[in-house]
Structure 1
């Protein structure tokens, strides 16, 4: 029987959640399976992967073929690297102790890499919150200044509004020279 290590989709629409299973290659995607190895949740950042390491390694050694996505998950968790190191021990390239040392070194570097990504995401989230808060404070201050300017009593400058008497006097003063110039013009034309 040809066995595959593959994903079974669960979860609601738009929020997938997968079980990593060993199943007969002829079985439907979400159908009958032989053993459940773990779960994969791509909705979190970074994706959450829970895997039974020993069982997955055992099934790989028995000949189960992982699908592309399952291969990526097994590689991420180090199952494929462990299988590779076991192959080196069988061939005599190095002993079991050296293989364990290499795997421990790889696991440690992988953990620091994951922690670095998590802390980077947390820092980016904090920076985004601070920037949003600063922008909100600035907008609030601008809004308060606009409201204060709108609600402030309008101060009238000493208006140079002329009273009606002054307007009439100015109009008469303007008409008088115009009238005199008109009279002078008439005298010159008559004479």
Structure 2
């Protein structure tokens, strides 16, 4: 029977999503669609598979040929394994109960493996997340340290500039105060020089009066002699 079990692409660009379909391979291109028996999403980790087990097994028993990817999907879900066991039952290698028991054992082991893979994936994600957070923490610490050093440099420069401005202001005040002090020192000297002639004049006034008195006395004596 020219029937294929294949994938039919859906989804959008870079985010594919597939249907597991049964198609007549005699039709042109991808073949005429007959039935959808499941879906496959490769974008998850692990990949998400939904499959109608009974329909897939029925189509395999009717001679449908799966594509390579669909064969892997059917093997993972146990369809190929159970199909192989049913062939053994038909050949008389073992009975149906033994086939079912073997399949249940295989299925349990498969579930353990799948769970281990899922746990491993979760552990890897947690580890990657922890490493990413640790890296981000180190980067943030380095940035904070660099920012603190830069702020310290800026503060030191600002303090140095303020100290220089204060020193310049002090020097300017000192320079402004120096001429005023010199002027104050010169003012008493001028006052002393002005006071000195006045003192000399006051000292000279009694001497002048004494000389005038002597002159008057001499004139009086001369007049007395003339009368005599």
Q: How does 1:125-144 map to 2 (within 5 A)?
A: 125-144=125-144
Cα deviation, residue 122, structure 1? 0.9
Deviations 1:117-158 (CA, angstroms, capped at 9, x unpaired): 1111111111111111112222222222222222224398xx
Deviations 1:89-109 (CA, angstroms, capped at 9, x unpaired): 111111111111110111111
* Correspondence 1:48 to 2:45: no
Cα deviation, residue 28, structure 1? 4.8
Cα deviation, residue 26, structure 1? 2.2
Q: How does 1:2-81 map to 2 (within 5 A)?
A: 2-28=2-28, 32-81=32-81
Report if aligned partners of 1:19, 1:36 keep a CA contact under 8 Å in 2.
Answer: yes
Secondary structure of 1:46 counterpart: coil
Secondary structure of 1:34 counterpart: strand
Secondary structure of 2:127 counterpart: helix
Q: How does 1:147-186 map to 2 (within 5 A)?
A: 147-152=147-152, 153-154=155-156
Report if aligned partners of 2:7, 2:70 keep a CA contact under 8 Å in 1.
Answer: yes
Secondary structure of 1:9 counterpart: strand
Structure 1 equivalent of residue 107 of structure 2: 107
Following TM superposition, where does structure 1 have runs of at least 4 consecutive aligned residues deviating by more than 6 angstroms? Answer: none
**Cα pair distance change 1:6/1:28, threshold 3 Å:** farther
Cα deviation, residue 29, structure 1? 5.4
**Cα pair distance change 1:12/1:27, threshold 3 Å:** farther
Report if aligned partners of 2:88, 2:94 keep a CA contact under 8 Å in 1.
Answer: yes
Instruction: Structure 1: state its 5+ residue gaps.
Output: 157-191
Secondary structure of 2:18 counterpart: strand
Following the alignment from structure 1 to structure 2, what is the Cα–Cα distance between the partners of residues 60 and 66?
A: 8
Secondary structure of 1:40 counterpart: strand
Report if aligned partners of 1:4, 1:25 keep a CA contact under 8 Å in 2.
Answer: yes
Q: Which has the higher helix share?
A: 2
Report if aligned partners of 1:27, 1:33 keep a CA contact under 8 Å in 2.
Answer: no
Task: Give the TM-score, by structure 1 length.
Answer: 0.75
Over aligned residues, Cα RMSD in angstroms?
Answer: 1.8
- Greater radius of gyration (CA): 2
Following the alignment from structure 2 to structure 1, what is the Cα–Cα distance between the partners of residues 48 and 81?
A: 20
Report if aligned partners of 1:74, 1:80 keep a CA contact under 8 Å in 2.
Answer: yes
Task: Give the TM-score, by structure 2 length.
Answer: 0.64
Report if aligned partners of 2:40, 2:48 keep a CA contact under 8 Å in 1.
Answer: yes
Following the alignment from structure 1 to structure 2, what is the Cα–Cα distance between the partners of residues 72 and 28?
A: 25
